[in-house]
Amino acid sequence: MTTASDRGALLDRSDERLKDRSGAKGAVKGFLDRVRSGDLGSLPVVVGLVLICTIFQTLNPVFLSPNNLVNLLFDCSTVGIISLGIVCVLMVGEIDLSVGSVSGLSSALLGVLWVQWGWPVALAILAAMAVGFVTGCVYALLLNRLGMPSFVSTLSGLLAFLGLQLYILGPTGSINLPYDSPLVNFGQLLVMPHWVSYTLAVVPGVLALLLGYRKAQRRQAAGLSSRSFGGLLLQAVAITVALELVAYYLNLSRGVPWMFALFVGLVVAMNYALKRTQWGRSMTAVGGNREAARRAGINVRLIYASAFALCATLAATGGLLSAARLATASQQAGTGDVNLNAIAAAVIGGTSLFGGRGSAYSALLGIIVIQSIASGLTLLDLSSSLRYMITGCVLAIAVIVDSLARRSRVSHGRA
């Protein structure tokens, strides 16, 4: 029979364990436990990015120069936004193979409606994005009503939209956009004023401190382990210092591109939606186990529809920004390696192909890895064939790591 003194001793030991877990040592131990159990998070892609930067900087000192990094961020933004849509469909265990064709079609619509037909640019942009939205809804309808696998429906869309793009552009094959227009300036030239970049670099650290402190208070009220205020403050200071240094380094050249800021803003908004809203929790549940999600009262069909609609809309947005970046709408837009890079970026960044696990930051990290490889090989004057081979190897490694991590999570009961 447990006496009062025994219960007091148990409570004391429990308090000691809470204190150990809330300190720096506890945080490190918790991190190592998560890694051993297969919860790797962004660790593999961060390690890979460090290795890539180290290798290319050693081979060519221009790689990490401010001007090259600014160009790299411009290039990341267009395909990165498309990859952000891929994260949505992967989260529910599906795939969209037509994002490249949808992006190419949206750029063609922009050129025809704006340049040839004289529509206001804002109206042409909305029309192109609306086509993307309707396309995603059609894919969801084919899946929900007819049971057509998304692999088949989106592969059909890839071919159909590619043909439609060629038909819209006509025999000329390309339409030049007004070079002095605000849209083209946004895609090629516009960067933040220095004071804006320095100000925005403070925001993530402040938000991390406030949200972390609020979470720690809730956990303490529930009698759970939580991080100390000192640890949260140290993390916030580290984030702020790192981002301020990045902003300073980029400002040595042209500065931080507004187009990349738009991409990061979409990533943050999507991450909040996936992690902090009922819709995001439903996405994770459907991707983890569709039948269990249905029995829990989740409208599975609506979740699929939202995922495909978001994916196609973001693909159209990426195509519009790509046209602004190149100042042209051409038959080559959305072809080549756009599909490869968009899907590979999401997977390399940490989104699982098995569904139910992922983050909006996967698109950000993954596209930086892919564009870093492309930029490094370009500076070394190596052929694009090597870029395809290296990207393919990195993608294969990412899938292998994801598969092994999934097995580890299952064996540790954390799947």
pLDDT on residue 9: 47
Confidence at residue 155, expressed as pLDDT on a 0 to 100 scale: 92
Identify the pLDDT of residue 379: 87
- Residue 304 CB contacts under 8 Å (≥ 6 apart), including other chains: 92, 94, 140, 143, 144, 286
**pLDDT by residue (tens digit) across 318-358?**
999 999 999 998 888 877 788 888 988 888 888 888 788 88
Residue 194: the pLDDT is: 93
Residue 398 has pLDDT above 80, yes or no: no
Hey, what are 288's tokens? Answer: 């983890």
pLDDT, tens digit (0-9, with 9 covering 90-100), for 261-311: 999 999 999 999 998 899 999 999 999 888 999 999 999 999 999 999 999
Q: What is the pLDDT of residue 235?
A: 85
Tokens of 350: 């940490």
Q: How far is CA 281 from the centre of its chain?
A: 17
Tabulate helix, strand, coil % of the chain (nearest 5).
75, 0, 20
pLDDT band at 40 (very low <50, low <70, confident <90, very high): low
pTM of the model: 0.86
Mean confidence (pLDDT) of the chain: 84
Rounded Cα–Cα distance for residues 397 and 132 (Å): 32
pLDDT > 60? residue 410: no
Taking each helix axis from N to C end, the angle separating 384-411 and 338-348, rounded to the nearest 10 degrees, works out to: 30
Categorize the per-residue pLDDT at 414 as very low, low, confident or very high, splitting at 50, 70 and 90.
low
The DSSP annotation for 124-163 comes to: HHHHHHHHHHHHHHHHHHHHHHH---HHHHHHHHHHHHHH
Beta strands in 18-62 (DSSP E): none
Q: Please tell me the distance from the alpha carbon of residue 266 to that of residue 272, in angstroms, as a whole number.
A: 10
| pLDDT value of residue 352 | 81
* C-alpha atoms less than 13 angstroms from C-alpha of 183 in its C-beta half-sphere: 25
Rg (CA), the chain: 23
Token pair 């009961």: residue: 413
Cβ contact 402:355 at 8 Å: no
Cβ-count burial 159-184 (b if 16+ within 10 Å, e if not): eebbebbeebbeeeeebebeeeeebb
Name the pLDDT band for 395 (thresholds 50, 70, 90): confident
Whether 96 and 359 have beta carbons less than 8 Å apart is answered as no
| Residue 39 pLDDT grade (very low, low, confident, very high; cuts 50, 70, 90) | low
Has residue 12 got a pLDDT over 70?
Answer: no
The average pLDDT across 39-43 equals 61
Would strands 174-176 and 328-330 be described as parallel, antiparallel, or unpaired? Answer: antiparallel
Q: Indicate the pLDDT class of residue 37, thresholds 50, 70 and 90.
A: low
Q: Which residues contact 320 (CB under 8 A, 6 or more apart)?
A: 106, 107, 110, 125, 128, 129
Are 40 and 401 in contact by the 8 Å Cβ rule? The answer is yes
Half-sphere exposure of 216 (CA within 13 A, CB side): 19
Residue 16 pLDDT level (bands cut at 50, 70, 90): very low
Helices H, strands E: what count in the chain? 17, 2
Report whether pLDDT(7) > 70: no
Residue 409: which pLDDT band, with cuts at 50, 70 and 90? Answer: low
pLDDT classification of 132: cutoffs 50, 70, 90 = very high
Q: What are phi and psi of 189, to 5 degrees?
A: -125, -35
Q: What pLDDT score was predicted for residue 8?
A: 47
Worst-scoring range by mean pLDDT, 26-30, 252-256, 365-369, 385-389? 26-30
